[in-house]
A and B are shown apart, each in its own frame.
Chain A
Amino acid sequence: MKLRKITAITLAGAMAAATLGMTAMAADTDWKSFKIDPAQIPQEKLDTTISVACSIRGLENPYINTIKVGMEMFCEYLDSIGQKYEMQVLDSGGSNDTEINNMKQFAAKANGNAIAYSDPNESAICTSLVEAMAESGGYIGTAWNREEEDTVEDYNPNWVIHTSPDNVANGKAIASALFDQMGGKGQILVVEGMLGNTANNDRVKGLEEALAEYPDIEVAAQDTANWATADALTLVETWLNQYPDVGGIWCANDNMATGAMQALENAGLLGKVGVVGIDANNDVVDAIKAGNATATVSSNGYLQGGYTLAICYAAWAGLIDPEELPLEYREFATPATVITSENVDEYIASYIDATPEFDFSEIFWCKAD
């Protein structure tokens, strides 16, 4: 089980986030090993066409594509147990209003026989999405963005779970990896994602936390590249004229890290300046292996998309009652892996060279311990 080994290198931050949810230390370990038993699903449920969806913010980012693939893997599992289903992707294109509309329309179509994974565009609209689903009687699991004051228990039973790879922790983890590689001192360039976006703000917050711990690291320049490769290339290209001695480049995602590396390559600095990003895009992972990039974070979109839907499915099929689930099994962290030169080979072997395989009947396998 190579997967196990990698997930073992999880983030301290992510775990801290997980413990937040553990209000009552219910030692009900049975849930962890809970398995879907197809035999227990009533035939009428199996014959009902269930609408399956994942709501995403666009297709620019390869990470988001892995969520979609995760959903498709889960749907293969549904095939294997004889469940009828219809699958679709709701693309918001980065617009809050569109994402809410999409979810409402999806809910209306399915009439309650629906499960959805949602990556809210902004934490502020998380509950609006959940509400749309709850009103139709469908089941939804959210990931990433949610306001702190919100809890899944506000929308029992329809808001089944919320999983959160911790953006602050991710931002901090890659920053620390970068700073360590630089020997704890020097100048860095900061390439931010879209301004005003929750994920970006959290990641930058993580960077700032790390900066506080490394007093000799100095931010030479900081600007936005709107999550885009081309913008990052332009930005870094310009900066390199100004700060040729820079030691590292922190990027809020891997698309931008790709652009930063291209700029370094054009300037003949590739491999000499550390680059970090988040999302574990294939080209960045390859660059880590080649020694051209320092670190990235895999949030394992396959697992997020697939297992969130699996848990929602179990709720819809009546196998679990979300209200009975302990909170730690409804609000938890999914494993996130910091990929560095140390573990990059393993990651490539199991995720890039081979398509990962998951057993979706073990629905809580996705919970980071």
Chain B
Amino acid sequence: MEKTKTVAAKPDWKKIIMKNYSVLVVILMIIIFTVMEPNFLNSMNIVNLLSDSAPLMIMAAGMTPILILGSIDLSLGSMCSVANVLMLAIMLGMKDSISSPVLIFILALVITLAAGVAGGIILGLIHVKLKVPSFIASLAFMSVWDSVALMITSSPVKLPKALKMTADWYKIQIGPIGLPLILAILVILLYHFVLTRTAFGRGIFAIGGNERSARIAGIKVDLYKVIVFAMNGFCAALGAMFLLVKAKSSAPTVGESFTLMVISAVVAGGTSLVGGSGSLLKSIVGVFIISIIKNGMNMVGVNVYWQKVVYGIIILLAVAISVDRTSRSRIVK
């Protein structure tokens, strides 16, 4: 009996550091960029760093559990475009019938979020019920959402002056941190809590680790998957709202560049693409890695022709350092 007694877990610092290399990457990058351009850490840029990343952050929140499932969603950016143009179209539609801009904003937001959730559910159902791999299902939906966005508004639309005040909150600061980022991080923390401390969340990790085992163990695999995709739609729509108030305008192509950026941010944070492991907290770090690279390159003023080369190399270095190598047996695909 005594030989099987479990030892009280001591904090294994080596393991903790190995599991959190991505934080080291962030610190390293901050140091390097500050040395190269002292203004990198001036107050205005810190404010930029701590508010610009909000849309990316919120979308990473939706994508992380999808990657934990071992799935992927390539339609995220296009879903975001749809929500972006839809929200402004709704606001414009209500402009004449409802007098309070705030009410218009809230109503439009609610409808948009509902649309995002609905979009996520449709994708989730097709993936789960028809067994279409999420990669290809979402790839098809990328095209579909692109068309839907263009059908809603074929041109970018500006937030009319009468409704501009609804975008003012975006600039509110609490200390150096912008309100949007605080909202995004709150969403992440809440979602993180759900993922780690509810039966649903624990189920997600089990499904990602071994779907058959999870199913036999009585976990509602299909339902949970659809919920995760619905949440992703929700986050995409929320991110779309952020982009709307940030740019004070909508555009049917606005989300395009986000899809791969979001996935790379989540992976750079340390969530694995094969599923079963990962964390939303890591994704916060991942988003900062991507944001700092982009910000730092603008700060340092890299030659325009070299920008993409430098961006690619830094991302590669960041991921190569932060990738989780603690599990030796893991196969990397």
A contact set with B: CB distance below 8 Å: 51, 59, 68, 86-91, 93-98, 100-102, 104-111, 122-125, 127-128, 136, 147, 149, 194-198, 201
**Contact indicator B305/A123 (Cβ below 8 Å):** no
Chain A CB within 8 A of B210 CB: no
Residues of chain B lying within 8 A (CB to CB) of residue A197: 155-156, 253
* CB<8 Å pairs between A and B, sample of 9: A94-B253, A96-B156, A102-B298, A105-B299, A108-B42, A109-B301, A111-B42, A124-B248, A125-B156
**Contact indicator A136/B243 (Cβ below 8 Å):** no
Residues of chain A lying within 8 A (CB to CB) of residue B44: 107-108, 111, 136
Knowing that A101-B52, A196-B155 touch, tell me 4 more A-B residue pairs with CB under 8 angstroms: A93-B257, A96-B254, A105-B52, A109-B301
Residues of chain A lying within 8 A (CB to CB) of residue B155: 196-198, 201
Tell me which of A91, A109, A198, A201 contacts B45 (CB under 8 A): A109
**Contact indicator A105/B48 (Cβ below 8 Å):** yes
Residues of chain B lying within 8 A (CB to CB) of residue A107: 44
**Contact indicator B37/A196 (Cβ below 8 Å):** no
> Whole-angstrom distance between the alpha carbons of A263 and B329 in the complex?
53
**Contact indicator A196/B294 (Cβ below 8 Å):** no
Chain A CB within 8 A of B250 CB: yes
> Whole-angstrom distance between the alpha carbons of A72 and B145 in the complex?
41
**Contact indicator B304/A91 (Cβ below 8 Å):** yes
Q: Which A residue's beta carbon lies closest to that of B147?
A: A195
> Whole-angstrom distance between the alpha carbons of A122 and B253 in the complex?
10
- The 5 A-B pairs with the shortest beta carbon distances in the complex, nearest first, are A124-B249, A89-B304, A88-B301, A108-B45, A108-B44
Residues of chain A lying within 8 A (CB to CB) of residue B48: 101, 104-105, 108
Residues of chain A lying within 8 A (CB to CB) of residue B257: 93-95, 97-98
**Contact indicator A201/B247 (Cβ below 8 Å):** no
Contact with A along B143-170 (1 / 0, CB 8 A): 0000001100111111001000000000
Contact with A along B116-141 (1 / 0, CB 8 A): 00000000000000000000000000
Identify which of residues 246-262 in chain B touch chain A, using a CB-to-CB cut-off of 8 Å.
246-254, 256-258
Tell me which of B149, B248, B298, B303 contacts A127 (CB under 8 A): B248
Q: Which B residue's beta carbon lies closest to that of A88?
A: B301
> Whole-angstrom distance between the alpha carbons of A146 and B253 in the complex?
18
Residues of chain A lying within 8 A (CB to CB) of residue B286: none
Residues of chain B lying within 8 A (CB to CB) of residue A87: 301
**Contact indicator A149/B298 (Cβ below 8 Å):** no
Q: Which B residue's beta carbon lies closest to that of A105?
A: B298
Chain A CB within 8 A of B65 CB: no
**Contact indicator A97/B298 (Cβ below 8 Å):** no
Chain A CB within 8 A of B173 CB: no
**Contact indicator A97/B304 (Cβ below 8 Å):** no
**Contact indicator A196/B248 (Cβ below 8 Å):** no
Chain A CB within 8 A of B55 CB: yes
> Whole-angstrom distance between the alpha carbons of A51 and B40 in the complex?
14
Tell me which of A109, A124, A125 contacts B298 (CB under 8 A): A109
Q: Which B residue's beta carbon lies closest to that of A110?
A: B39
**Contact indicator B247/A88 (Cβ below 8 Å):** no
> Whole-angstrom distance between the alpha carbons of A208 and B170 in the complex?
39
Given A123-B156, A195-B154, A201-B154 in contact, is the A97-B161 Cβ separation under 8 Å?
Answer: no
Residues of chain A lying within 8 A (CB to CB) of residue B154: 195-196, 201
Q: Which A residue's beta carbon lies closest to that of B81?
A: A196
Identify which of residues 302-321 in chain B touch chain A, using a CB-to-CB cut-off of 8 Å.
302-305, 307
Chain A CB within 8 A of B295 CB: yes
Distance of A126 from chain B, by nearest CB (Å): 9
**Contact indicator A196/B251 (Cβ below 8 Å):** yes
Distance of A138 from chain B, by nearest CB (Å): 11
> Whole-angstrom distance between the alpha carbons of A13 and B40 in the complex?
44
Contact with A along B180-221 (1 / 0, CB 8 A): 000000000000000000000000000000000000000000
**Contact indicator A196/B252 (Cβ below 8 Å):** yes
> Whole-angstrom distance between the alpha carbons of A102 and B45 in the complex?
11
Residues of chain B lying within 8 A (CB to CB) of residue A88: 298, 301-302, 304
> Whole-angstrom distance between the alpha carbons of A340 and B323 in the complex?
57
Identify which of residues 67-102 in chain B touch chain A, using a CB-to-CB cut-off of 8 Å.
none
Residues of chain B lying within 8 A (CB to CB) of residue A194: 253
Q: Which A residue's beta carbon lies closest to that of B154?
A: A196
**Contact indicator B299/A109 (Cβ below 8 Å):** yes
Among B55, B253, B295, the one with the most A-chain Cβ atoms within 10 Å of its Cβ is B253
Q: Which B residue's beta carbon lies closest to that of A102?
A: B298
Residues of chain A lying within 8 A (CB to CB) of residue B294: 98, 101
Tell me which of B52, B149, B249 contacts A104 (CB under 8 A): B52
> Whole-angstrom distance between the alpha carbons of A8 and B317 in the complex?
54
Distance of B170 from chain A, by nearest CB (Å): 11
Given A68-B304, A101-B48, A108-B42 in contact, is the A149-B161 Cβ separation under 8 Å?
Answer: yes
Residues of chain A lying within 8 A (CB to CB) of residue B302: 88
Residues of chain B lying within 8 A (CB to CB) of residue A101: 48, 52, 294-295, 298
Distance of B308 from chain A, by nearest CB (Å): 8
Residues of chain B lying within 8 A (CB to CB) of residue A51: 301
**Contact indicator B156/A198 (Cβ below 8 Å):** yes
Tell me which of A68, A93, A105, A124 contacts B251 (CB under 8 A): A124
Q: Which B residue's beta carbon lies closest to that of A195?
A: B150
Residues of chain A lying within 8 A (CB to CB) of residue B39: 108-111
Distance of B255 from chain A, by nearest CB (Å): 9
> Whole-angstrom distance between the alpha carbons of A93 and B307 in the complex?
11
Distance of A200 from chain B, by nearest CB (Å): 9
Tell me which of B42, B45, B156, B256 contacts A124 (CB under 8 A): B156
